[in-house]
Amino acid sequence: MSATEPYHADHLAWMGLALDEARLALKTDDVPIGAVVLGPDGGVLGSGRNEREAHGDPTAHAEIVAIREAAAALRQLAHDSGASGDGWRLEDCTLVVTLEPCAMCAGAIVLARIPRVVFGAWDEKAGAVGSVFDILRERRLNHWVEVYAGVREDECAALLRDFFATHRVPAVEHRPV
């Protein structure tokens, strides 16, 4: 895993918002991962939780849901103020998520131009921010991201561990016939 920036006190509170979203995913039997996108002022522009089971959508990861909501909010703000703005560039925003983003979500973060990502637990099997890949800090790409990892890591990991402990079916013992 790659070294990360030390996190700030605000990150702890923001992770609480992401954890609240993660717990809401339990209602639809989705993996409890939550995310929030914060604007430059620290206000929430978008929030999301895993909704793959709820919507039958393989792209409905918490980060994607939050990024889409934040982009819509920025488009609306630009429209309401008469300013120009496309809404898809989430410059000067921060994404906070309870689990290290996967390759799909890391790609979306880069394409949305999000400059900062804060995450809780590492994902040793599919993480794309240092565990398996490091897409957010890939120098060959046109956008790089500051990463703050391990924020409330134990709490984020415990939520996932508890979920999977109740959803795993014990392996069937194989006996010779």
Among the ranges given (70-79, 107-116, 122-131), the one the predictor scored with the smallest mean pLDDT: 70-79
Q: Sort strands 94-99 and 44-49 into parallel, antiparallel or unpaired.
A: unpaired
Q: Is 153 a catalytic residue?
A: no
140 or 170: whose pLDDT is higher? Answer: 140
CATH assignment of the domain containing 45: 3.40.140.10
CB count within 10 Å of CB 62 equals 30
Summarize pLDDT for 135-163 with one digit per residue, the tens: 999 999 989 999 999 999 999 999 999 99
Q: What is the pLDDT of residue 133?
A: 96
105 annotated ligand-binding residue: yes
Domain enclosing residue 35, as ranges = 9-120+143-153
In a domain, 164, yes or no: no
8 annotated ligand-binding residue: no
* Confidence label for 104 from pLDDT (cuts 50, 70 and 90): very high
In a domain, 169, yes or no: no
In a domain, 108, yes or no: yes
In a domain, 66, yes or no: yes
**Closest alpha carbon to 36 in 56, 55, 21, 26:** 21
Residue written as tokens 């639809």? 28
56-79 mean pLDDT: 95
14 or 168: whose pLDDT is higher? Answer: 14
Q: What is the pLDDT of residue 150?
A: 96
Contact in structure between 62 and 97 (CB atoms under 8 Å): yes
CB count within 10 Å of CB 153 equals 15
DSSP state letter for 139: T
Q: What percent of the chain has pLDDT over 90?
A: 79
Residue written as tokens 């939050």? 66
102 annotated ligand-binding residue: yes
* Residue 127 token pair: 């993480």
CA distances from 123 to 6, 102, 103, 171 (A): 19, 8, 11, 23
116 or 78: whose pLDDT is higher? Answer: 116
pLDDT mean across residues, the chain: 91
List, in sequence order, every beta strand (DSSP E) within the chain. 34-38, 44-49, 94-99, 116-121, 146-148
In a domain, 83, yes or no: yes
pTM above 0.85, yes or no: yes
> Catalytic one among 51, 63, 69, 100?
63
Summarize pLDDT for 28-55 with one digit per residue, the tens: 999 999 999 999 999 999 999 999 999 9
In a domain, 70, yes or no: yes
The number of distinct structural domains making up the chain is 1
161-173 mean pLDDT: 78
